[in-house]
Structure 1
Amino acid sequence: MKYTFISVPALGNKQNTFLNIKAKLTEYAETNVFPIPDFKIGTLDALVLLSDDLAKYDTAFEQTVNKVADIVRHFGSQGNQMLLVNEKSIDQYVRGFQWNTMKYRTDKSLQETTATLNQEVNAIDAIMKAKLNTYTQNKNALQTLQRKQTGNLSVKNLNGIVKKQHCVLNSEYLTTVVVAVPKALYKQWNAKYETLTSMIVPRSSVKVAEDDEFGLFTVTLFQRVVDDFTHKAREERFIVRDFTYDEDALKLQQEELDQVSSTESEQQGELVRLACINFGELFASWVHLKALRVFVESVLRYGLPPDFASVAIAAQPKFEKKVDDTLLAQYGRLGGVHGQHHSTGNQEEILDHDLQSVNDGSYRPYVQFDLLFDVEKA
């Protein structure tokens, strides 16, 4: 989804200028007025500095919009259908764009309006980062619990697998150790477990479970040699599991899993809801920033007082070059700075700014900014 915002000198008649562009592009693109109010301009030096700031903010806004859109696409059940701006589709919003004078008063300076937009976007970005970080932490905790339920016997939770009858309980001296042994090492285990350290009860090894990779064995030994046994077992590639039998552990484990799963589900719903709301706010801010860029560049390009027509163009698929060629044919005569008869004594600053723009490969003899948003991105 690509929109091109352009402005050209209106020569005193914005409506006729728009209708002329629309007629030229009618076969190749949808064309709509892109209304921009009259702002307090200030000095041209300040506009040149503001132009550079607007370019930086434009890139930052785009990144933030896309990050929030990705949250909606990834976690939202309806994906792109949930990406609305002021309860309108993206296309409807851009084509029917109106400057929000309630939020961004036109009696404020351009610098103040720009700062307000940037502050709003930064605030939303910080909120979304915090929400996503909280959700991600809980999601990771849930995945850790789930892995314990589904992994192999060397990592999964053993509650419910190792039974009461497999363990020596309430002994002052003896304890039961649970060991995951690779299937290929069964013979080695049976031959060596009794001699890995002293104080191991002979023939106490019992296989209590098995999966595709490991067998789970219990062995009885004196409590005082558990650490030494664990170390020696590790050298033989036997994995001593950290396990203590608890009758209530299985129930508590399931309760913890249910609670974390429920929290994760709630947080995901809240994250998507907040992302949907904030996407609309962010996208609207981005389009307002584009409007500011068009205004500032038009003043710098065409001079004072402002007399230009701004247009939003959505080219049909595969007709982008035709639209570009048509506009260049129509307005290539502008060359660079237009309307020098409006000279204010600051024309040198305008020319310097324009020459910097020429160094950009996207330079056009008229003001042009693109808004590219990938609605299919997943």
Structure 2
Amino acid sequence: MSNMHNFDSVPAEGNKAIVFQNLKTKLSGSQADLAEVYQFLIPEFRIGTLDALVVISDELVKYDQFVESVAWKIVDILRILLKGDKDKICANLLVNDKSIDQYLNTFQWDIMKFRAEKSLKEIAEILNEEVSSIDTLMKAKLANYNQVKGNLQALERKQTGNLSVRNLADVVKKEHFVLDSEYLETLLVAVPRHSWHSRYETLTQYVVPRSSQKIAEDDEYGLFNVTLFKRVSTDFANRCREEKFVYRDFKYNEDEMANQRKEFEEMGATEKELWSALLRLANTNFGEVFAAWIHFKAMRVYVESVLRYGLPPDFIEILNNQYGKFGGALSRETQKDENIEEYQNLIDKDYYPYVWFQIQFNVNKIASS
């Protein structure tokens, strides 16, 4: 995918085909391999008054910037979903089932959605409303996905942390506990790497001697059970904390453990479903937003061309030596390249004697953002 495309408009001077072919020869001919040149076809819009054109010109700039920002938001969503894989991201950046380059090089105004007989203001508002709706939808879907993903990650941390924090449902077994006793209960304690067996019996009274065994261990902790009288359970838990042992508030309940496993599995399945749905939505809506962006570019080319060259709108959408005469009020003083450059510095660095817009969609930004 190319990084840069320019939209240029110059006067047709009576014959669009001849002017286009001349420009193409000069820019991409055998003796001047400067750029690939394609014709950018734009319908003739309802122009209205000069004041209306000036107003819509300013509005189109704002719409243009907004739509570009929405396009990049969707790219960011794809980057998150596809973990920054540039090839996979680019494979999802399609417009009408075409790559960005193909779409731009074969652009045609969508006459079914945006009929040219409507005013420029009406078309711009329809486009903007469509993109705003997509932006709102994508924000809501992303927020929903992030919430589920966050919940799943919290459950995963409980499954994968050390023995002081992780879920113990898959670690302990029924035989590790004294169950259904009126007076006794079994507690679990995560113990750092120092002596436990010589100390646990003396932490409180009424601890059953030799009732503790190591159930599991990791690089930081050993997990032990201990059986004692229920009436000293709270005191025992407090003494564990004072000794820097980690009391695990865990009750053996097979139904609850089964529910926890089910919750984890269901959360994982939900996250995968939302991931797939959001990926499809991002793919589809990127194409919609990018197409809207280029339609705004087309309107800007048209409006600025009419403002620059006047009526009737006799120009083609395809540089300083050839078109310096169209440079505006100072055209007589800007016939040479160096004079045009001086005029650019005085007025606007992006001033040219032809209408010119640029679109940059940098692939490297996708991977690094």
* Alignment TM-score > 0.5, same fold: yes
Residues 253-307 of structure 1 show CA distances to partners (whole Å, capped at 9, x for unaligned) of 4333332222222222211222221121111111101101111222222233323
Partner of residue 251 from structure 2, selected from 237, 244, 247: 244
- Looking at structure 2, the residues matched to 254 and 55 of structure 1 have their Cα atoms a distance apart, in angstroms, of 53
Partner of residue 23 from structure 2, selected from 11, 14, 21: 21
Paired residues of 2:142 and 2:278 also in contact (CA < 8 A)? yes
Offset, 1:216: 0.9
**Alpha-carbon distance change, 25 to 8 in structure 1, aligned in 2, over 3 angstroms:** same
Give the residue type in structure 2 aligned to 1:96. T
Secondary structure (helix, strand or coil) at the match of 1:3 reads strand
Give the residue type in structure 2 aligned to 1:362. D
1:30 aligned residue: 36
Q: Does 1:206 align with 2:208?
A: no
Q: Does 1:98 align with 2:108?
A: yes
Offset, 1:82: 3.2
- Looking at structure 2, the residues matched to 267 and 357 of structure 1 have their Cα atoms a distance apart, in angstroms, of 52
Deviates more, 1:32-41 or 1:110-119: 32-41
Offset, 1:229: 4.1
Count the aligned residue pairs: 346
- Looking at structure 1, the residues matched to 113 and 242 of structure 2 have their Cα atoms a distance apart, in angstroms, of 69
1:334 aligned residue: 326
**Alpha-carbon distance change, 101 to 182 in structure 1, aligned in 2, over 3 angstroms:** same
Paired residues of 1:302 and 1:337 also in contact (CA < 8 A)? no
Offset, 1:159: 1.1
2:338 aligned residue: none
Residues 47-89 of structure 1 show CA distances to partners (whole Å, capped at 9, x for unaligned) of 3332222222222212221232344455469432232211222
- Looking at structure 2, the residues matched to 228 and 329 of structure 1 have their Cα atoms a distance apart, in angstroms, of 92
Secondary structure (helix, strand or coil) at the match of 1:181 reads strand
2:356 aligned residue: 368
Unpaired runs of 5+ residues, structure 2, are 332-342
- Looking at structure 1, the residues matched to 167 and 294 of structure 2 have their Cα atoms a distance apart, in angstroms, of 52
2:308 aligned residue: 301
- Looking at structure 2, the residues matched to 360 and 147 of structure 1 have their Cα atoms a distance apart, in angstroms, of 56
Q: Does 1:157 align with 2:167?
A: yes
Offset, 1:191: 5.6
- Looking at structure 2, the residues matched to 359 and 181 of structure 1 have their Cα atoms a distance apart, in angstroms, of 74
Structure 2 counterparts to residues 1-378 of structure 1, below 5 A: 1=2, 2-26=4-28, 27-72=33-78, 75=81, 78-183=88-193, 186-187=194-195, 189-190=196-197, 193-194=200-201, 196=203, 200-201=207-208, 203-311=210-318, 327-336=319-328, 360-375=348-363, 377-378=366-367
Secondary structure (helix, strand or coil) at the match of 2:322 reads helix
Paired residues of 2:344 and 2:350 also in contact (CA < 8 A)? no
2:339 aligned residue: none
- Looking at structure 1, the residues matched to 308 and 355 of structure 2 have their Cα atoms a distance apart, in angstroms, of 7
Give the residue type in structure 1 aligned to 2:320. L
- Looking at structure 2, the residues matched to 142 and 281 of structure 1 have their Cα atoms a distance apart, in angstroms, of 31
- Looking at structure 2, the residues matched to 8 and 285 of structure 1 have their Cα atoms a distance apart, in angstroms, of 23
Give the residue type in structure 1 aligned to 2:173. K
Deviates more, 1:43-52 or 1:72-81: 72-81
2:336 aligned residue: none
- Looking at structure 2, the residues matched to 141 and 42 of structure 1 have their Cα atoms a distance apart, in angstroms, of 55
**Alpha-carbon distance change, 105 to 169 in structure 1, aligned in 2, over 3 angstroms:** same
**Alpha-carbon distance change, 49 to 136 in structure 1, aligned in 2, over 3 angstroms:** same
**Alpha-carbon distance change, 332 to 196 in structure 1, aligned in 2, over 3 angstroms:** farther
Offset, 1:131: 1.8
Offset, 1:90: 1.6
Paired residues of 2:344 and 2:352 also in contact (CA < 8 A)? no
Deviates more, 1:5-14 or 1:199-208: 199-208
Residues 170-209 of structure 1 show CA distances to partners (whole Å, capped at 9, x for unaligned) of 23343322111221xx23x556545555654455443221
**Alpha-carbon distance change, 338 to 122 in structure 1, aligned in 2, over 3 angstroms:** farther
- Looking at structure 2, the residues matched to 92 and 232 of structure 1 have their Cα atoms a distance apart, in angstroms, of 71
Residues 92-141 of structure 1 show CA distances to partners (whole Å, capped at 9, x for unaligned) of 21111111111111121111111111111111112222222222222222
- Looking at structure 2, the residues matched to 197 and 211 of structure 1 have their Cα atoms a distance apart, in angstroms, of 27
Unpaired runs of 5+ residues, structure 1, are 312-326, 340-354
- Looking at structure 2, the residues matched to 218 and 258 of structure 1 have their Cα atoms a distance apart, in angstroms, of 28
- Looking at structure 1, the residues matched to 38 and 330 of structure 2 have their Cα atoms a distance apart, in angstroms, of 23
Deviates more, 1:146-155 or 1:70-79: 70-79
Offset, 1:231: 4.1
